[in-house]
Amino acid sequence: MAIQDKVAIITGVSRGIGKAICEKFINEGYIVHGTYNTSKKEAEELKKQYKEKLEIYKVDFSIREQTIKLIDKFTGIKMDVLINNAGMFEGENFEKFNLDIWFNTLEVNLNAPFLLAIKLHNNIRKGGSIINIASTDGFIGSFGSISYSVSKSALINVTKSLANNLGKRDIRVNAIAPGWINTGMSTDESLEAVKLTPLKRNGKPEEVADLALFLASNKASFITGTTIVIDGAYACVDYIMKKEAESFK
């Protein structure tokens, strides 16, 4: 794809999936405007590597005023792609539920992406794209991360609603729902997912980035309002049915 002079705004580019998406789009010819919050060192290293191809902005999306200030900075930028990747995850104790986690998580994972889309959609060129990074957690109930699951479930619906309203301007809106992805912050639980995943491994950030690039391209010109799961078929597995099948051998 020859994609010279195209512009992408990508939130949360300093590490993990966001970094992989940022690098993928830069390597395909995009100029990227990216955000980070706490990972200053990683963000500065990324800027040093890509120089004029990347502009970085520090923003804490849990603070509404900072989100609005960022939007104000972007109002003069014409873009082709908006990728809402920045997010927060914090575990919860259900019996001693901390409502601050609820409100902060919804602000970062739901309100900020919605505000960016609503306030900047007129800056997106015809044929452009909005991509929201959701999660397979948005399809299921949660035990210790209710705020996160709810925020991703709502983001999936926001994706559909934005697609309905922006289709007349030839702007496509889709979401990506990653399952277990090895981002350098793997836990014992995430590594255990390999045992259940039919492909027998967890995903790579670069694989999510490949999907994002596809959704932003003309090859996905008739795909909008949908959420694509990228989880190696983990969500297809029922643990009890798997154990039952093993007993038949």
- Cα separation, 180 vs 238, in Å, equals 16
Question: CA of 132: how far to CAs of 1, 53, 233, in Å?
Answer: 22, 22, 20
Give me the residue label for tokens 């990324």: 46
* Closest by Cα among 177, 185, 181 to 201: 181
Helix or strand (DSSP H, E) at 174: strand 172-178
- Cα separation, 86 vs 89, in Å, equals 10
Question: CA of 100: how far to CAs of 19, 38, 89, 116, in Å?
Answer: 28, 19, 12, 22
Give me the residue label for tokens 């300093």: 14
Cβ-count burial of 38 within 10 angstroms (0-12 exposed, 13-18 middle, 19+ buried)?
A: exposed
- Report the amino acid identity of residue 18: G
The angle at the Cα of 111, spanning 110 to 115, to the nearest 5 degrees, equals: 120
H, E, C per residue of 113-162? HHHHHHHHHHHEEEEEEEEEECCHHHHCCCCCCHHHHHHHHHHHHHHHHH
Per the annotation, the verdict on 234 as an active-site residue is no
What single DSSP character describes residue 94?
Answer: G
Which one of the listed residues 30, 36, 50, 148 is annotated catalytic?
A: 148
Residue positions annotated with a catalytic role: 148
